Chains A and B, each alone.
Chain A
Amino acid sequence: MPLPPFQRFLDEHRDPVWRFLVALVGRQEADDCFQETFLSALRAYPRLGDGANLQAWVLTIAHRKAIDSHRGRIRRPVPVADADPGPAADDPGRPEPELWGLVRGLPPKQRAAVALRFVADLPHLEAARVMGCSEAAARRNLHAALTRLRKEWR
């Protein structure tokens, strides 16, 4: 099937990408990542082959942007007077569920594995494709993430 007009691709994937990014980086950073994800996608778009899996492709880009954003945040100096609320707290008006705060504290691959499983609802094979690893590695990441969360939760 030929590529749909980019606007249609954007409209069809904006909801899952938004949700995936909020899960990975929190509400506040999600918007920047969303912009960068789709602007990068637009640049590469005409080079995609017919029949590409657009959902997996855009989640792959979003995953990469989330990792970049996370790195950027680590590099950014922590303000002294105004204590950094940390990754768990976000928009002060809408407190985030504690559990997903813990998810955001996981190493990037584990975090992605959890978001791909419980937000994007992808099977292991698809999740592996998005994370650029083997299916076995995707399973291991998810397992490690769940083990760690079980210890930290409550």
Chain B
Amino acid sequence: MTNLEHALRDSAPPADATAAATAARRVAARAAERGAADVAYAIVPSPMGALAGVCSRRGLLCLSYRVERLDGLLDSLAGAVSPRIVESPARLDPVARQLEEYFAGRRRQFELPIDWSLSRGFARRVLRATADVPYGTATTYTDIAGRAGSPLAVRAAGNALARNPVPIVVPCHRVLRVGGGLGGYAGGLERKRFLLKLEGALEG
């Protein structure tokens, strides 16, 4: 290599990770703001630990307790929904705000559009029926199976609830076993108990 080539390498603009990161954040924010991104996500705080929230153009798509699995979740959404995915706390702001009100006991109902496209058929009917279970009450897997149109499909209803993409907002924690057993919960039974107590549906 000649002197000139050495000099070109040595005096080339250095990497500037800070400037690049700032510029990238602005790209993501603008993409979300202008609707150029189809999917936006952000980490949302909660008293039960951080949640990963994901919105599509239609509404809330996922709320996940498994923040450590966010990469895998986004990979599958890139295939199932759209690869135009950006991180945007601003787009998740309504979700974060309503969750904060809910956990502070100031909100009993979420007013958030939900994108149901990740579930279909019976599973979707189960989730929709669950969305109608009122704050502070509890129902059973059997009841939900019936309301979704298949009273005998209790196990299938349980499976659909276990895969609820939007827990808390679609309140699958309000669905218990006949006889009062807690049943299961994707976020762990501690969290199910926490939510039921918060709503006054379970004695502290």
Q: Of the candidates B15, B31, B74, which one forms a contact with A39 in the assembled complex, judged by CB atoms under 8 Å apart? A: B31
Within 1-20 of B, Cβ neighbours of A (below 8 Å) are at 2, 4-5, 7-9, 11-17, 19-20
Assess whether A4 is in contact with B78, with CB atoms less than 8 Å apart. yes
Assess whether A35 is in contact with B30, with CB atoms less than 8 Å apart. yes
Q: Of the candidates A22, A42, A99, which one forms a contact with B8 in the assembled complex, judged by CB atoms under 8 Å apart? A: A99
- At the interface, yes or no: A61 with Cβ under 8 Å from chain B? no
**Residues of chain B contacted by A5 (CB below 8 angstroms):** 39, 74-75, 77-78, 83, 85
Query: With A35-B26, A153-B4 in contact, do A42 and B37 touch (Cβ < 8 Å)?
Result: yes
- At the interface, yes or no: A57 with Cβ under 8 Å from chain B? no
Query: With A14-B24, A23-B13, A100-B12 in contact, do A7 and B19 touch (Cβ < 8 Å)?
Result: no
Closest residue of B by beta carbon distance from A115? B12
**Residues of chain B contacted by A99 (CB below 8 angstroms):** 7-8, 11
Query: With A5-B74, A14-B21, A22-B16 in contact, do A42 and B7 touch (Cβ < 8 Å)?
Result: no
Within 79-106 of B, Cβ neighbours of A (below 8 Å) are at 79, 82-87
What is the bound-complex CA distance between A5 and B38, given in angstroms?
11
Assess whether A39 is in contact with B36, with CB atoms less than 8 Å apart. yes
- At the interface, yes or no: B27 with Cβ under 8 Å from chain A? yes
- Per-position binary interface string of chain B over residues 34-76, scored 1 when its CB falls under 8 Å from any chain A CB and 0 otherwise: 0011010100000000000000000000000000000100110
